């Protein structure tokens, strides 16, 4: 049985979708978020120093671990400040001290909830 259509969750949009944002709102949000390169995710410093440093330290997803669930960490997440915020403050965004290890599902959920252009960002 097909699922009922839903109204796009973007504030002011009345388009019907199968879930999540409509195609136009998704494109607009993706543009607002910028490319990975525009957000500063490029080069070996990020890959080697930040990602490997965080994942070597946090081998288990820190959010699942808070619930007593040992799930492997696969993504290095900038936290509590975003990479963009760290750069604005003149801090080194590739320092593993500014990150935490998460599983992909937790990282996707956190990004959607907190990053500009994420699907759950009100109005955007």
pLDDT, greater one: 106 or 3: 106
pLDDT of residue 123: 41
Q: Rounded to an integer, what distance in angstroms lies between the CA atom of residue 82 and that of residue 116?
A: 11
Are 83 and 41 in contact by the 8 Å Cβ rule? The answer is: yes
pLDDT of residue 121: 43
Are 99 and 54 in contact by the 8 Å Cβ rule? The answer is: yes
Q: What is the pLDDT of residues 8-40, one digit of tens each?
A: 888 889 888 887 788 888 888 777 766 655 555
Q: How confident is the model at residue 124 (pLDDT cuts 50, 70, 90)?
A: very low
Question: How is the chain split into domains, by residue range?
Answer: 1-33, 43-114
Q: What is the pLDDT of residues 45-90, one digit of tens each?
A: 556 789 999 999 999 999 999 999 999 999 999 999 988 889 899 9
pTM of this structure? 0.60
Torsions phi, psi of 78, nearest 5?
-70, 125
Q: How far is CA 75 from CA 15, 26, 31, in A?
A: 33, 23, 23
Q: How confident is the model at residue 122 (pLDDT cuts 50, 70, 90)?
A: very low
């Amino acid at each position: 049985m097909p699922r009922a259509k839903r109204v796009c969750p973007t504030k002011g949009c009345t388009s019907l979708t199968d879930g999540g944002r409509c195609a136009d709102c998704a494109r607009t949000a993706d543009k607002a978020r910028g490319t990975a390169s525009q957000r500063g995710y490029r080069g070996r410093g990020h890959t080697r120093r930040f990602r490997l440093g965080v994942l070597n330290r946090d081998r288990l997803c820190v959010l699942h671990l808070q619930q007593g669930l040992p799930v492997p960490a696969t993504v290095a997440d900038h936290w509590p400040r975003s990479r963009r915020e760290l750069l604005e403050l003149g801090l080194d965004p590739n320092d593993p001290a500014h990150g935490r290890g998460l599983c992909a599902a937790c990282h996707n959920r956190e990004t959607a909830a907190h990053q500009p252009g994420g699907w759950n960002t009100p109005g955007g």
